[in-house]
Structure 1
Amino acid sequence: MDKVLIDIFLPAINRSFEVYIPLDSKFYEITPLVSKMLSELSNGLFISGEDSILYERKTGNILNINMSARQLNIKNGENLMLL
């Protein structure tokens, strides 16, 4: 399985984390997994929720949850934000 390393910023705690995500999974699958993972990595400072959404950090655009990282042309080092 192909993966990319992305940087996800959590404004709630003002920290970023690097995580690998699969290129071919849809974001409706990736977002809850990343949200739970970051809750654990932040030692509970960030609380995972069902309504978490991933955004492009530069533009603030919401990522289409029905598309994969490959379809969205997400590359290694991409900066995203989780709210």
Structure 2
Amino acid sequence: MKRIPITFALAAALAACGQRAPLEPAAGETLPPPPYGVSEPLTAEELLETDPQAVPERSVELRRESEEREDDPFDLPPES
């Protein structure tokens, strides 16, 4: 029974290991060409950044009171 917690602890420790060096392209590969209008190629870190359109902020507006739903003309029963 003592082996199970040790096994899980070892698996978690191995999963936490990771490379801490900067990212670089694989041997023989190059980074993609720079986007139109940019004179210098982007670094690996710059390529990993997402622009706001790619990851929009989430709207977390919650309803405070019960509200009646409006009639939805597209909510049709299935056809037989």
**Would you tell me which structure has more helix in proportion to its own residues?**
2
Q: Which has the larger radius of gyration?
A: 2
Q: TM-score range by the shorter chain?
A: under 0.3
TM-score (norm 2): 0.17
**Would you tell me which structure has more strand in proportion to its own residues?**
1
